[in-house]
Amino acid sequence: MRGTAILAITARLMSVALATVTGMTFSSESFAELVSTASGPVFQRGDAALPAEVAAQNTAVVHDPEIAVGAAGDADVAAAVRFAVANGLPVHVLATGHGSAVPVTSGVIITTSRLNELSIDPESAVATIGAGNRWESVVAAAAEHGLAPITGASGHVGCIGYTLGGGLGPLARTFGFSSDYVRSFRVVTAEGEIVTASADEHPDLFWALRGGKGGFGVVTSMEFGLVRLPSLYGGSLFYEEGDIPAVLRAWASFTEIAPEEATSSVAIVRFPPFDVIPEPLRGKTVISARFAYIGDPAEGERLFQPIRDAGTAFLGRVGEMPASEISSIHNDPTDPGPSWDRGMLLSGIDGAFVDRFLAIFGPGREVPMIAAELRHLGGATARDVPGGSAVGGRAAAYSFVMIGAPDPSLFEAVLPQIADGITAQLSEWVSTETNINFSSGSLAVPGLFEESWPSAIFDRLAEVRRQYDPTHVFPYPDFPDRD
């Protein structure tokens, strides 16, 4: 590996010299070889089709790489990595684009949307999931066999990127993090080699990929354990602005006694007066209570009743539902658009927290955040898997996410400053660690990357990155002015 590192560094120096003379950062010969080798399409800056190929879910982030490779298989990914190394270019990965927080303006983007292999083994209850899949596809395929993946709140999110950060969904307290269910990963390394990472092969890499997020290689597929879950008791209800204090207090009280079989969350949402918003919600400030219970529906109904009765719901339903409809619990938007968020974990909440939260986000408050969400954690999320994993945030009791007004002019300075102030007001309850999926949109904030894992896990992740990517082919975190 040392010899490879020396060659890679030499290639980077040569690419700088080439760029100085020609304005290019890759040779035309190597680009032609990449085009002839790859089964999928290859784009370079200036191609008319490039913007659509690298479009992110967050439309405020516009990527403009030097090269994009629409990988059609593992071999294409390996060829793209070897091309990048030979020309001293960094490699970035784009699936559904939900994780895009800053524009990529150099190097190679490997798009994985064409890696859509998906198969279900009903006997072993294991899914093989290509990197181009969204959770909605896996949920539908698994449901045909009475099975379900431990998925995220949104079925529109890509499976791999979400899982690499751990993944907290609407069943988290009962089943834990999504990454806890990975059996193996298929990975292209910085040397362009295709390897399997599992408990038996490359176990250090397997440990890191279950929660360590990025900087290790390109994951092209994973084997993912499923649970037998044909149905559950769950859903969501919307309440008017005047009911926000009572519903929030009822939910907070419920979380103090909730069993592991129950996972819940609330969100205060300020819907803008846009035509795309359905009429019952357009221009309104509301609170949404979300609930999922695994077990006897009658017991689920009994547990949820105090929240149901805390106000008069005008929209939604909580009841028995097929597991295939799990994304309807949060019913997150799926259309691309400009977005900004700041997330963190909380060590706990109490009456004083609820009072402070209402003073910031409650009825009549003016704050440029369209949503303030609280999720109840604990239960299975607090227990690591046998052999351990790199997931951060297992000690947290709740999560908190702010979603800013969808106005890109506010993203750079206004919203971060307001979020800093809100975080300071809630600092008494903020956990000393967070989870990378909750902080990935704000990694430019000093210290937030380091706080995404306990220090021992953070240090071990750094060592695994040095081992598998000694020349930083896969820059992570991928933010300007960071090493």
Task: Spell out the residues 6+ positions from residue 97 whose beta carbon is closer than 8 angstroms to its own.
Answer: 55, 56, 57, 58, 61, 336
Residue pair 156/134 in contact (Cβ under 8 Å)? The answer is yes
Residue pair 91/473 in contact (Cβ under 8 Å)? The answer is yes
Dist CA 91 CA 408 (whole Å):
27
pTM of the model: 0.92
Q: Between 351-361 and 244-257, two packed helices, what is the crossing angle to 10 degrees?
A: 150
Longest dimension (CA), the chain: 73
Dist CA 158 CA 131 (whole Å):
8
On whether residue 307 sits in a domain, the answer given is: yes
On whether residue 399 sits in a domain, the answer given is: yes
Same domain assignment for residues 293 and 176: no
Task: Spell out the residues 6+ positions from residue 292 whose beta carbon is closer than 8 angstroms to its own.
Answer: 170, 171, 174, 232, 233, 234, 262, 263, 264, 326, 329
Phi, psi of 345 (to 5 degrees): -110, 155
On whether residue 79 sits in a domain, the answer given is: yes
Q: Between 297-308 and 244-257, two packed helices, what is the crossing angle to 10 degrees?
A: 140
On whether residue 474 sits in a domain, the answer given is: no
H or E segment and range at residue 12? helix 2-22
Same domain assignment for residues 286 and 384: yes
Dist CA 268 CA 245 (whole Å):
10
Q: How many residues does the chain have?
A: 483
Domain with 399 in it = 231-448
Which pair of tokens denotes residue 187? Answer: 């990975």
Q: What is the pLDDT of residue 483?
A: 46
Per-residue pLDDT of the chain (483 residues; tens, 9 = 90+): 444 444 444 444 444 334 333 345 788 899 999 999 999 999 999 999 999 999 999 999 999 999 999 999 999 999 999 999 999 999 999 998 887 888 999 999 999 999 999 999 999 999 999 999 999 999 999 999 999 999 999 999 999 999 999 999 999 999 999 999 999 999 999 999 999 999 999 999 999 999 999 999 999 999 999 999 999 999 999 999 999 999 999 999 999 999 999 999 999 999 999 888 889 999 999 999 999 999 999 999 999 999 999 999 999 999 999 999 999 999 998 899 999 999 999 999 999 999 999 999 999 999 999 999 999 999 999 999 999 999 999 999 999 999 999 999 999 999 999 999 999 999 999 998 899 998 877 766 778 888 899 999 999 999 999 999 999 999 998 765 444
Same domain assignment for residues 363 and 280: yes
Phi, psi of 110 (to 5 degrees): -95, 115
Same domain assignment for residues 224 and 287: no
H or E segment and range at residue 50? helix 50-53
On whether residue 361 sits in a domain, the answer given is: yes
Same domain assignment for residues 109 and 203: no
Q: Pairing relation of β-strands 231-239 and 285-293? A: antiparallel
Q: Which CATH number fits the domain that encloses residue 26?
A: 3.30.43.10
Dist CA 269 CA 345 (whole Å):
19
Q: Give, as one character, the DSSP assignment of residue 275.
A: T
Interior angle at CA 196, CA 192 and CA 197, nearest 5 = 110
On whether residue 483 sits in a domain, the answer given is: no
Q: Which CATH number fits the domain that encloses residue 221?
A: 3.30.465.10
Dist CA 323 CA 334 (whole Å):
19
Which of 283, 395, 286, 289 is CA-nearest to residue 346?
Answer: 395
Same domain assignment for residues 319 and 389: yes
Domain end residue (candidates: 114, 129, 163) = 114
Same domain assignment for residues 125 and 107: no
H or E segment and range at residue 437? helix 436-439
Which pair of tokens denotes residue 235? Answer: 């859903």
Residue pair 349/377 in contact (Cβ under 8 Å)? The answer is no
Dist CA 54 CA 57 (whole Å):
10
Same domain assignment for residues 169 and 27: no
Q: Give, as one character, the DSSP assignment of residue 384.
A: P
Start-to-end CA span in the chain (Å):
21
Q: Which CATH number fits the domain that encloses residue 378?
A: 3.40.462.20
Which pair of tokens denotes residue 324? Answer: 């295939």
Q: What is the pLDDT of residue 480?
A: 54
Dist CA 354 CA 350 (whole Å):
6
On whether residue 44 sits in a domain, the answer given is: yes
On whether residue 469 sits in a domain, the answer given is: no
Same domain assignment for residues 280 and 397: yes
Residue with tokens 């909580």: 318
Number of structural domains found in the chain: 3
Q: What is the pLDDT of residue 24?
A: 56
Same domain assignment for residues 134 and 247: no
Q: Between 414-425 and 351-361, two packed helices, what is the crossing angle to 10 degrees?
A: 160
Q: Pairing relation of β-strands 108-111 and 91-94? A: parallel
Same domain assignment for residues 59 and 91: yes
Which of 128, 117, 118, 114 is CA-nearest to residue 71?
Answer: 114
Return the bridge partners of 196, or none.
Answer: 186
Same domain assignment for residues 323 and 338: yes
